[in-house]
Homo-oligomer: A and B are copies of this chain.
Amino acid sequence: MDFELPPSLGIYGNETIAKDILSRIWGKRGVFTCTVANTRTSTIPGLSDAGDTPELTMFTGPADAELLINGRVSCMKGIPINPGGIPTPATLTMAALQLSGMPCFIVNGGCSIVPYVPYFDMGGECGDFITTGKAVKNVRTEFEKGVMLGRMLAKANDFVVISESCAGGTTTALAVMTAMGVVKENLVSSSSPNNPKELKTKVVNEALAAAGIKPGDMKDDPLGAIECVGDPMMPANIGIVCGAAPHVPVIVGGGTQMGAVIAGVMALHPELKGNFLQGTTRWLMDDANSSMRRIVDSITPDVPSVYVNVDYSGSPYEGLQAYEWGFIKEGVGCGGSSVGAIAMSAGRITAADLKDRVEEIYRGIMGEAVAP
């Protein structure tokens, strides 16, 4: 294998598979999708920081969708931020899409607030608290429509990037991965450096108890696990991978919450191994309070992580520097779209280019207020 990885990218897991996939999409034409969804789980106080308040976490997915398509938000004032004003990772996704010219489609996994953009409807609904043990409706429909959409996208593109914006998604992912027996402890990330691990574990334990599931019970039934304790982003995205990956390489863009999607695909179609990888950020891979590396090891190193070495430490903006302090780290496919953009440009786009464009976008969105 003579594929040379540019310094803007890093690999964890099976390097041979990662380089093989990258070499096949290098300089090729990709398409980016972001599946937005809600789970009421994100409104449990203290659980999710993907929004300024627990109530505002319900607006984060739809607002990110509007930002990606129109460059501005209609469903709420301002843009999605974490408490403290740290801007949504959609800013990095926008930079990757702008620099590469990669087309972008929104998939509505199930939102309570409808984004004001054209989106692929998958027949999903807003997810309920996972503590009900009956969190997601229409799982089979969403999965089957996802398979169709994956096939449609693979027909017209050389590779497909999927991603998510669903506040509360790491908790639902922990629940599904626990139900499937993929993880035995809380390895998932948080958009806060103070990962509320005890609260997440408590909510997951309550959810599994309510559903009458013991860890590992749903090993071979990811869609069943999602129906009980998942969120409506998952079946749509598992479907898209299952529909697209038999035809073209797929980048699963996202952090630990995508562990549930990767584990779901591997349970349903293990033969797709070798044609999809995770695309993420170095912030997420290096997080001290979660372990994507151990999640990859648990599922299989043969679905490797490719991460973008984007670095905001030299940025004049505190809102961006905060990414270096452990805030946000991933979301809205910021890592996957960056990996996709670098691949599509055959390495001409660099992590430094991405950072520069994010600063431009950040200035545009925040106006004079953030002039350095």
This protein's copies in its complex: 2
Task: Tell yes or no: A233 within 8 A of B by CB.
Answer: no
Known contacts A121-B108, A122-B118, A31 near B156 by CB under 8 Å: yes
Assembly CA distance A108 to B118 (angstroms): 10
Task: Tell yes or no: A148 within 8 A of B by CB.
Answer: yes
Task: Tell yes or no: A105 within 8 A of B by CB.
Answer: yes
Instruction: Give every chain B residue within 8 A of A123 (Cβ-Cβ).
Output: 114
Assembly CA distance A191 to B146 (angstroms): 34
Known contacts A119-B120, A120-B120, A101 near B155 by CB under 8 Å: yes
Please determine whether A118 and B118 come into contact, CB atoms closer than 8 angstroms.
no
Task: Tell yes or no: A145 within 8 A of B by CB.
Answer: yes
9 A-B pairs with the lowest CB-CB distances in the bound complex, closest first: A103-B156, A121-B121, A118-B149, A118-B145, A118-B120, A103-B155, A118-B148, A117-B148, A69-B148
Task: Tell yes or no: A44 within 8 A of B by CB.
Answer: no
Write the A153-175 contact mask toward B (1 if CB under 8 angstroms, else 0). Answer: 00110000000000000000000
Q: How far is the CB of A26 from chain B (nearest CB, A)?
A: 19
Q: How far is the CB of A367 from chain B (nearest CB, A)?
A: 24
Known contacts A119-B120, A121-B118, A156-B103, A148 near B70 by CB under 8 Å: yes
Task: Tell yes or no: A349 within 8 A of B by CB.
Answer: no
User: Taking beta carbons and an 8 Å cutoff, which residues of A are in contact with B?
Assistant: 31, 69-70, 101, 103-105, 107-108, 114, 116-123, 141, 144-146, 148-149, 152, 155-156
Q: How far is the CB of A243 from chain B (nearest CB, A)?
A: 10
Instruction: Give every chain B residue within 8 A of A101 (Cβ-Cβ).
Output: 155
Residue of B nearest to A240 (CB): B118
Assembly CA distance A297 to B145 (angstroms): 43
Residue of B nearest to A101 (CB): B155
Instruction: Give every chain B residue within 8 A of A108 (Cβ-Cβ).
Output: 121
Assembly CA distance A329 to B149 (angstroms): 30
Please determine whether A105 and B152 come into contact, CB atoms closer than 8 angstroms.
yes
Instruction: Give every chain B residue within 8 A of A141 (Cβ-Cβ).
Output: 116
Assembly CA distance A108 to B123 (angstroms): 13
Instruction: Give every chain B residue within 8 A of A148 (Cβ-Cβ).
Output: 69-70, 117-118
- CB < 8 Å: which of B70, B105, B119, B149 contacts A121? B119
Q: How far is the CB of A24 from chain B (nearest CB, A)?
A: 20
- Contacts A103-B155, A118-B122 aside, 11 further interface pairs with beta carbons under 8 A come to A69-B148, A69-B152, A104-B152, A108-B121, A117-B145, A117-B148, A118-B120, A119-B121, A120-B120, A120-B121, A121-B121
Q: How far is the CB of A64 from chain B (nearest CB, A)?
A: 15
Assembly CA distance A274 to B116 (angstroms): 30
Residue of B nearest to A121 (CB): B121
Assembly CA distance A72 to B6 (angstroms): 46
Assembly CA distance A39 to B146 (angstroms): 28
Assembly CA distance A121 to B114 (angstroms): 10
Please determine whether B152 and A118 come into contact, CB atoms closer than 8 angstroms.
yes
Instruction: Give every chain B residue within 8 A of A104 (Cβ-Cβ).
Output: 152
Q: List 25 A-B contacts (CB under 8 A).
A: A69-B152, A70-B148, A101-B155, A103-B152, A103-B156, A104-B152, A107-B118, A108-B121, A116-B141, A116-B144, A116-B145, A117-B145, A117-B148, A118-B120, A118-B121, A118-B122, A118-B146, A118-B149, A118-B152, A119-B120, A119-B121, A120-B120, A120-B121, A121-B121, A156-B156
